[in-house]
């Protein structure tokens, strides 16, 4: 399946489904079935990853090593050339999927996920992102049902947000994963209730005149000061239970945050445009 814009993912019953952001579940053909292996839920009848080693969302895939983070960029002051997307006061730069004002609640300088995904009014290409998030306390649920959200570049390339502190899930859906493509290099999550930081460098895919991929989208992801993706390529747009694909699109797109039925808090969101250096 292809995803246009931002979507939510969920598992209803034993089959993969796509839940639209109006919270109306749309059942897909009952092809893939969720299973539990050693306390970890996932899938083993999904397509294989391109490297042929693991199924997409495979619960038996090696878990990323746990790394206790130090201090890093919490409450980082935006540089002089940054575009501040949320400073704790209002969501005037954000809209919902229909272009209406973003419905998230602001409390104590944080935007709390609610009702639907939100998108920036502005469109971006290659960017440096700083963002801080906090998982709900007390923690409830397990696996993908604990503190789930997501960061979407150009509306279609997702870096996962999840509460993975003492909470295992299929590795390509863990915090810091390029969702469904690449697990994080480490689990550097802080406990729920504590503020965490993402610093991400994202470069857009480039296409030839006939739609061929000249080079893919890339992300370098730093979670709480720990590199969890090192200039890693996206295999296409974000999908669930399927291998991503590329299709020719505009060189810029909105930045998005996902609502996935959990109350995740965000603050101090800013971006910088960054050039791509092609010379050695």
Residue (of 273, 257, 7) closest to 133 by Cα position: 257
In percent, the amount of the chain with pLDDT more than 90 equals 81
pLDDT at 242: 85
**pLDDT over threshold 80, residue 29:** no
Cis peptide before 138 (omega within 30 of 0): yes
- CATH class, domain 65-273, is mainly beta
- 41-100 pLDDT, tens digit per residue, is 999 999 999 988 999 999 999 999 999 999 888 899 999 999 999 999 999 999 999 999
Residue (of 42, 4, 35, 30) closest to 168 by Cα position: 42
Q: How confident is the model at residue 275 (pLDDT cuts 50, 70, 90)?
A: confident
Give the whole-angstrom CA distance, residue 181 versus residue 242: 9
Count the Cβ atoms, other than its own, within 10 Å of residue 66.
12
This prediction has a pTM of: 0.87
Q: Averaged over 254-270, what is the pLDDT?
A: 96
Do residues 218 and 234 make contact, with C-beta atoms less than 8 angstroms apart? Answer: yes
> Which region among 3-7, 31-35, 64-68 has the lowest average model confidence (pLDDT)?
3-7
Burial 112-135 (b: 16+ CB within 10 A, else e): bbeebbbbbeeebbbbbbbbbbbb
Give the whole-angstrom CA distance, residue 171 versus residue 26: 25
Q: Averaged over 158-177, what is the pLDDT?
A: 97
Question: Angle at the Cα of 261 (from 260 to 262), degrees rounded to 5?
Answer: 95
**pLDDT over threshold 90, residue 280:** no
Residue 257: partners with Cβ closer than 8 Å, 6 or more residues away: 113, 117, 118, 149, 150, 151, 152, 266
pLDDT at 278: 65
In percent, the amount of the chain with pLDDT more than 70 equals 88
Which tokens is 37 given? Answer: 């292996």
Q: How confident is the model at residue 243 (pLDDT cuts 50, 70, 90)?
A: confident
- 169-190 pLDDT, tens digit per residue, is 999 999 999 999 999 999 999 9
Give the whole-angstrom CA distance, residue 79 versus residue 124: 17
Do residues 132 and 111 make contact, with C-beta atoms less than 8 angstroms apart? Answer: no
Helix (H, G, I), strand (E, B) or coil at 70: coil
pLDDT at 25: 53
Could you state, in order of their start, the residue ranges of all structural domains in the chain?
A: 65-273
Do residues 97 and 7 make contact, with C-beta atoms less than 8 angstroms apart? Answer: no
> Which region among 4-13, 104-113, 125-134, 256-265 has the lowest average model confidence (pLDDT)?
4-13
**pLDDT over threshold 70, residue 215:** yes
**pLDDT mean across residues, the chain:** 89
Half-sphere exposure of 31 (CA within 13 A, CB side): 11
Which tokens is 146 given? Answer: 């604990």
Q: How confident is the model at residue 114 (pLDDT cuts 50, 70, 90)?
A: very high
């Amino acid at each position: 399946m292809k995803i246009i814009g931002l979507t939510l993912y969920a598992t209803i019953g034993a089959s993969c489904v796509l839940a639209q952001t109006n919270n109306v579940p749309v059942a897909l053909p009952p092809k893939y079935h969720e299973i539990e292996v050693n306390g970890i839920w996932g899938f083993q009848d999904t397509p294989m990853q391109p490297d042929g080693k693991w199924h997409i969302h495979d619960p038996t895939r090696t878990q990323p090593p746990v790394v206790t983070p130090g201090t890093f960029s919490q409450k980082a002051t935006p540089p002089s050339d940054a575009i501040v997307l949320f400073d704790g006061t209002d969501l005037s730069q954000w809209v919902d999927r229909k272009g209406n004002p973003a419905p998230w609640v602001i409390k104590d300088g944080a935007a709390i996920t609610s009702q639907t995904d939100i998108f920036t009014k502005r469109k971006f290409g290659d960017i440096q992102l700083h963002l801080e998030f906090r998982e709900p306390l007390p923690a409830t649920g397990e696996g993908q049902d604990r503190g789930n959200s997501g960061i979407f570049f150009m509306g279609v390339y997702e870096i996962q947000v999840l509460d993975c502190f003492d909470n295992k899930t299929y590795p390509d859906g863990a915090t810091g994963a390029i969702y469904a493509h690449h697990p994080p290099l480490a689990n550097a999550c802080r406990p729920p209730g504590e503020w965490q930081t993402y610093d991400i460098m994202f470069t857009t895919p480039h296409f030839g005149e006939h739609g061929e991929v000249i080079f893919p989208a890339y992300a370098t992801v730093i979670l709480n000061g720990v590199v969890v993706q090192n200039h890693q390529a996206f295999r296409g747009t974000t999908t669930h239970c399927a291998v991503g694909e590329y299709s020719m699109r505009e060189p810029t797109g909105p930045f998005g945050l996902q609502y996935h039925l959990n109350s995740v808090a965000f603050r101090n969101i800013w971006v910088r445009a960054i050039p791509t250096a092609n010379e050695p």
